[in-house]
Amino acid sequence: MAVQHNDNAKFLVGIYDDDDVVLKAVKEVKNAGVRIHEVYSPFPIHGLDVALGHPRTRIGIAAFLFGLTGFLCMVALTVYTMGYDWPMIIGGKDPYSLPAYIPVMFEFTVLFTALGMVGTFLVSNGLGPTVKPLMFDLRSTDNKFVMAIDLNKNKLSETEIATVLRTSGAAEVNVKQF
Amino acid sequence: MHVTSSVRTPLVTGGKTYADVTEDICRQVEGKPTREWTIAFAISFIVLIYGTACVFWTWWEGLGVWGLNKTVGWAWDITNFVWWVGIGHAGTLISAILLLFRMKYRTSINRAAEAMTIFAVLCAASFILMHMGRPWLAYWALPLPNTFGSLWVNFNSPLVWDVFAISTYFTVSLVFWYMGLVPDLATIRDRATNKVSRYIYGTLSLGWNGGAKTWARYEYISLILAGISTPLVLSVHTIVSFDFATSVIPGWHTTIFPPYFVAGAIFSGFAMVQNLMLITRVVFKLEDYITFEHIESMNKIITLTGSIVGVAYITEFFIAWYSGVEYEGYAFLNRMTGPYWWAYWAMMTCNVISPQLFWSRRIRRSIVWTFVLSVVVNIGMWFERFVIIVTSLHRDYLPSSWAMFSPTIFDISDYIFSFGLFFTLFLLFAKFLPVINMFEVKAIIRSSSEKLPASVSGVAKGERVANPTFNKNAE
Amino acid sequence: MASIHSIPSVEEQYEFTAESKRKLTIGIIAGVVLVGLGAFLAAKGIGSHEHVEAAHGGAQSAEGHHAYKWTTRLWANVWLNSVYFTGAAVTGMFWLAYNYLAQAGWSAVFKRVPEALPAFLPVTGILMLITFFVAGHDLFHWTHAELFDKNSPEYDPIIAGKRGFLNTPFFLIRLVIYFAAWYGLWRLLRNFSLREDLEGGTEYYEKSIKFGTAFLVIFAVTSSTSAWDFVMSMDTHWFSTMFGWYTLASWHVTGLAIITLVVVSLKEQGYLKAVNASHLHDLGKFMFAFSIFWAYVWFAQFMLIYYANLPEETIYYRERFTGHGGIYQAPFFVNLFMCFFFPFLVLMTRDAKRTPIVLKIACWGIIIGHYFDFYENIMPAAVGEHGGFGPIEFGMILIFACAFIWSVSTQLTKGNLIPRNHPMLEESLHHDI
């Protein structure tokens, strides 16, 4: 996610007023041959990631594996403690009475899935308490939709891209240097 | 593409823009505490201090200060525990199940409901610690081998399952709630005018910037979290019900307990959310976001879950007779007509009969009725747990050990402690964090607002707009 | 973006072709032949399990010492299939009712499918009445008068204590009330729906919400009591407070699987063009979630009985696990696997729920699995060690399934396949997740 901090990182920033407009604009800007760095919005816009061509997330696989790990951990713990290390007959059941351990196995599965998945999400998106976000416009967490275009990664000139952005419905077009 | 049927009632009134949503909700966080808030907080805090002193005395002296006796070994402690855990179910449920069902009215109430969950679970956990008597040995409930050998905790015990269930539930609910907060915290961070709050909200918002890729993954994990939280909510109260139902005590051992406890938990949780939201709505002037439609929808769920609980009561009663088991039959007859008849009938009236009033459209759209009936429901749900626990225990198989339970001042004060804790935490939350999920409300404005303003974006206010430090026009 | 696709026409008329009718007729005839064959074998005493019992002996139900007649198995199969298809049919109504109450928008486009299911209710209702009159004495232990007679050696104080509920007149009254109420309310909703197609407006929608809610109130009670009547009372001594909700969970998910299967099949035949991958995804989610819910209810009931280990309760699982020479142990595990593990694993991923063929496999798994659920609950009580899987079982399933498909197909022809004036239709056509 993070943009490399070199001295001449220079962005054109299109500010949109409307979520429906920005969704259409993404297609227009892309059709005009402009590479979009990212679009920032105050709330998720349905279909935006598809329009931008972001690949589908594979975080679900990670979640499944974490869940499986949690499940196996608890299977191991109950097998070891109740069935092997100190077997006891409780309530007339076998020392290892599987149905009675299903509740804890379930809890551990959920716990590992949740924590593991959220951890993966934070790491893969570069989020954390000490992270300084790159904000192209502070209003993008309030009411504006912000399309950022990395000038160094585009062949078109600044003026040409600015025109594309304006035609696609941007209310403002700004320059942002880091 | 948003298509909304014309038969749907709007969920946001007043023609709000995105900027209005931000402004209306952040105002409370950024402004000085209001007088109402300060008074409420002072009262809660005093109650908390008094309660804390009583809890410490309970620990210092031992559980003898409670009214427990040899026959009734569980009474208010576990009643309060189950009551609070039950209340704690609505939050995650509103968020998770209603998210899965894409119920849009969820967006205005989920934040407060989730916060309520966390505080309610903390209150519940405090009773677990309290009833241990020696809380410094609480780690004995964890699967650690003891010092004399490798004797482990008994995984056959529902009380051990409870340790896992409650701690998992608390952790996952906290994560769920916090992840929901992150984008809104970023909004507050970007509006902050002083360094301290920029630093605090900046740290809390984890560097969120709202990029499309982040949002897509965020929505995905929210769905999965909702997907695993739903069975988690069910499992937690199921395991709480197992505390009773795995035993062979008449009135406790009945197979319907798991789903019936879950329904009851949702029922009381929704009632508590109603109470909190009705107050918040007025005090914070959020009438445009928590509309009559929200109140009505929640009242419908209260009626639904109340009726499910009612069906379960009747089923238990019927099967107690049908089974032909003498002790089971007696336990239920004793509930109804024994010395604790008043608790039983309080439960029946409050839980089964009173929510039926919501069949009247006028009543379910009335603020006063809703508030009063929600309180009534929670009183009823407290009595339900009291009935299950105390009336089942107080008449043993041996008539010579029959006894009654009378609460002492410490039973009562330790219960009051949990109210102090709950409201102190809730008021802190209401002041320093956005009580309504801003980004989710913004996401439904277009489809569910009463009337759309000319520009749905609106004009953002504040210093950063008037004087942007790093923007300059292109060309 | 899926939602940008053009929306196909909502004018569709289902045609119940002569070819399908021919196939269904052949199916029914084959079923009758199989049942006839099975009955012949049973009457001759071929393939019975007596020898198994002789070898194992031991645990068996204390009930039903009356002489076994081979026809009992025949009637038990009629009863079993009637209960199963009653559930499938009434779930259609249940679905409609809760979708109206919850103001669901997405499901409007295929609403005619659940709407078609309850038409089968009179068939199963009448069959159940006939079965009760003809074979009630063999299937329902509590119908024996001597159990209630203090002077009889057969007197059973526990069953005698249930007399207020388990007596023939009251049982018959309840049976009639269930079917009359369910079917009657469905007719109302069905008429509203068909008239809405012609006249439009929101009047019928509002009315449907009202009567749907009335159905839910009635069903809240009757779903439990009917489960006690139809299934639990066959094991006359045994009781479980969960049983009503357990049966409801089973019926419900079966109905969901049938609805999904019909939607996918119609789509494959070129109908329901407006149903998109998002609808299928959501139907898949429903099946996934309610399979887990069924497993939850199953486990909660099993766990509590297993854990508390009270003889009067445990006997139920004991009988199914090791009783009757162990013939019910395999179905016990098949049931668990097909109703929970199979749909859970198959439907876990997003792609699976969006792929018609995978959805169909999951549907069949659930549909077959829940047959085993009812088989496991009914057969040990009804026929005990004389049970099994033979021509009677397969034939009877074939007859009922073909008749059910016939009924559903007929209903589908009776209106436009998409409820063209449903107020939520526009939302449903643009459904995109």
Asked if C167 is an interface residue toward chain B (Cβ–Cβ < 8 A), one would say no
Torsion of the alpha carbons at B445, B447, B448 and B452, rounded to the nearest 10: 60
Domain membership of residue C331 (yes or no) is yes
Chains in touch with B (3+ beta-carbon pairs under 8 Å) read A, C
Q: How far is CA B152 from CA A34, B140, B149, in A?
A: 64, 9, 9
- Looking at CA atoms only, how far is residue A24 from chain B in angstroms? 11
Q: Which amino acid is at B21?
A: V
DSSP H/E element including A13: strand A10-16
Contact B255 C4 (CB under 8 A): no
Q: How far is CA C164 from CA B12, B321, C226, in A?
A: 54, 10, 16
- Looking at CA atoms only, how far is residue B345 from chain C in angstroms? 21
- Looking at CA atoms only, how far is residue C134 from chain B in angstroms? 26
Chain C residue closest to B6 (CA)? Answer: C423
Euclidean distance between CA atoms C389 and B87, whole angstroms: 49
HSE at residue C313, side-chain half, CA atoms within 13 A, is: 23
Chain C neighbors of A51, CB-CB under 8 A: 1
- Find the radius of gyration of the CA atoms of chain B: 24
User: Does pLDDT of C67 surpass 80?
Assistant: no
Contact B242 C221 (CB under 8 A): no
Q: Which of B323, B327, B328, B388 to mutate to test the interface with C (most CBs of C within 10 A)?
A: B323
Chain A residue closest to B444 (CA)? Answer: A43
Euclidean distance between CA atoms C51 and C45, whole angstroms: 12
Euclidean distance between CA atoms B84 and B88, whole angstroms: 6
Number of CB atoms found within 10 A of residue C306's CB: 18
Domain membership of residue C4 (yes or no) is no
User: Does pLDDT of A85 surpass 70?
Assistant: yes
**DSSP summary character for residue B144:** -
Among C124, C239, C112, which Cα is nearest to C179's? C124
Asked if C350 is an interface residue toward chain A (Cβ–Cβ < 8 A), one would say yes
Q: Which of B7, B246, B259 sits opposite C245 (nearest CB)?
A: B259
Among A56, A32, A6, which Cα is nearest to A169's? A32
Asked if C165 is an interface residue toward chain A (Cβ–Cβ < 8 A), one would say no
**In degrees rounded to 5, what are phi and psi of residue C13?**
-120, 120
DSSP H/E element including B474: none
Domain total in chain C: 1
Asked if C145 is an interface residue toward chain A (Cβ–Cβ < 8 A), one would say no
Chain A neighbors of C432, CB-CB under 8 A: 46-47
Query: Do residues B370 and B364 lie in contact, with contact meaning Cβ atoms separated by under 8 Å?
Result: yes
Domain membership of residue C57 (yes or no) is no
Q: Which of A13, A34, A138 to mutate to test the interface with B (most CBs of B within 10 A)?
A: A138
Contact C1 A92 (CB under 8 A): no
Asked if C307 is an interface residue toward chain A (Cβ–Cβ < 8 A), one would say yes
Give the position of tokens 């946001």.
Answer: B12
Asked if B232 is an interface residue toward chain A (Cβ–Cβ < 8 A), one would say yes
Euclidean distance between CA atoms A20 and A22, whole angstroms: 6
Residue ranges making up the domain that contains A157 = 1-178
Euclidean distance between CA atoms B274 and B278, whole angstroms: 6
Q: Is the pLDDT higher at B146 or at C69?
A: C69
**DSSP summary character for residue B255:** T
Asked if A99 is an interface residue toward chain C (Cβ–Cβ < 8 A), one would say yes
- Looking at CA atoms only, how far is residue A35 from chain C in angstroms? 20
- B62's CB contacts (< 8 A; 6+ apart) are B133
Q: What is the pLDDT of residues B8-42, one digit of tens each?
A: 888 888 888 888 888 888 888 888 888 889 999 99
Task: State CA B386 to chain mean position distance.
Answer: 19
Q: What is the pLDDT of residues A111-161, one digit of tens each?
A: 999 999 999 999 998 999 988 888 888 888 888 899 999 888 888 888 888
- Looking at CA atoms only, how far is residue A72 from chain B in angstroms? 15
Among B370, B352, B353, which Cα is nearest to B361's? B370
Q: Which amino acid is at C258?
A: I
Among C3, C259, C237, C243, which Cα is nearest to C113's? C259
Euclidean distance between CA atoms B260 and B271, whole angstroms: 17
Domain membership of residue C8 (yes or no) is no
Domain total in chain A: 1
Q: Is A144 left (phi over 0), alpha (psi -120 to 50) or beta?
A: beta
Among C89, C96, C91, which Cα is nearest to C111's? C96
- Looking at CA atoms only, how far is residue A154 from chain B in angstroms? 16
Contact C306 A60 (CB under 8 A): no
Q: Which of C224, C239, C297 sits opposite B311 (nearest CB)?
A: C224
- Looking at CA atoms only, how far is residue B335 from chain A in angstroms? 28
Number of CB atoms found within 10 A of residue B278's CB: 17
Chain A neighbors of C348, CB-CB under 8 A: 64
Q: Which of B159, B223, B230, B322 to mutate to test the interface with C (most CBs of C within 10 A)?
A: B322
pLDDT at position A89: 85
- B43's CB contacts (< 8 A; 6+ apart) are none
pLDDT at position B468: 53
Euclidean distance between CA atoms B194 and B188, whole angstroms: 11
Chain C neighbors of B1, CB-CB under 8 A: 1, 3-4, 430, 432
Domain membership of residue C323 (yes or no) is yes
Asked if C245 is an interface residue toward chain B (Cβ–Cβ < 8 A), one would say yes
Q: How far is CA A62 from CA A67, A119, A126, C264, in A?
A: 9, 10, 17, 31
pLDDT over 90 for what percent of chain C?
69
Asked if C296 is an interface residue toward chain A (Cβ–Cβ < 8 A), one would say no
Note the pTM of the prediction, 2 decimals. 0.92
Average pLDDT over residues A51-79: 92
Torsion of the alpha carbons at C302, C308, C312 and C318, rounded to the nearest 10: 50
3-state secondary structure of B211: strand
User: Does pLDDT of C209 surpass 70?
Assistant: yes
pLDDT band at C49 (very low <50, low <70, confident <90, very high): low
User: How many contacts (CB atoms, under 8 Å) link A and C?
Assistant: 21
**In degrees rounded to 5, what are phi and psi of residue C415?**
-160, 175
Mean pLDDT across chain C: 89
Contact C300 B255 (CB under 8 A): yes
Euclidean distance between CA atoms B431 and B38, whole angstroms: 10
Domain membership of residue C305 (yes or no) is yes
User: Does pLDDT of C54 surpass 50?
Assistant: no
Residue ranges making up the domain that contains C231 = 18-46+70-429
Contact C299 A99 (CB under 8 A): yes
Binding-site residues on chain B for chain C (CB distance < 8 A): 1, 3-8, 100-103, 230-231, 234, 238, 242, 245-248, 253-259, 307-308, 311-312, 315-316, 318-319, 321-325
Contact B472 A175 (CB under 8 A): yes
Asked if C302 is an interface residue toward chain A (Cβ–Cβ < 8 A), one would say yes
Q: What is the pLDDT of residues C213-269, one digit of tens each?
A: 999 999 999 999 999 999 999 999 999 999 999 999 999 999 999 999 999 999 999
pLDDT at position B463: 57
Euclidean distance between CA atoms B238 and B166, whole angstroms: 11
Looking at B134-211, list the stretches that DSSP marks H as alpha helix, in order from N- to C-terminal side: 158-191, 195-204
User: Does pLDDT of A82 surpass 50?
Assistant: yes
Quickly list DSSP for C221-275: HHHHHHHHHHTGGGSTT---TTHHHHHHHHHHHHHHHHHHHHHHHHHHTT--TT-
Number of CB atoms found within 10 A of residue A69's CB: 15
- Looking at CA atoms only, how far is residue B101 from chain A in angstroms? 17
Classify residue B26 by burial, with Cβ atoms within 10 Å: 0-12, 13-18, 19+: buried
pLDDT at position B27: 86
3-state secondary structure of A62: helix
- Looking at CA atoms only, how far is residue B255 from chain C in angstroms? 5
Domain membership of residue C420 (yes or no) is yes
pLDDT band at C371 (very low <50, low <70, confident <90, very high): very high
Euclidean distance between CA atoms C362 and C346, whole angstroms: 7
User: Does pLDDT of C59 surpass 50?
Assistant: no
**Residues in chain B where the model's pLDDT stays below 70:** 1-2, 147-150, 462-475
Average pLDDT over residues A25-45: 90
Is this prediction's ipTM beyond 0.85?
yes
3-state secondary structure C61-124: CCCCCCCCCHHHHHHHHHHHHHHHHHHHHHHHHHHHHHHHHCCCCHHHHHCHHHHHHHHHHHHH
3-state secondary structure of A147: strand
Q: What is the pLDDT of residues C72-129, one digit of tens each?
A: 899 999 999 999 999 999 999 999 999 999 888 889 999 999 999 999 999 999 999 9
Chain B neighbors of C429, CB-CB under 8 A: 3
Q: Which of C305, C310, C424 sits opposite B5 (nearest CB)?
A: C424
DSSP H/E element including B135: none
Q: Which of B7, B234, B311 sits opposite C296 (nearest CB)?
A: B234
pLDDT at position C134: 92
Contact A92 C309 (CB under 8 A): yes
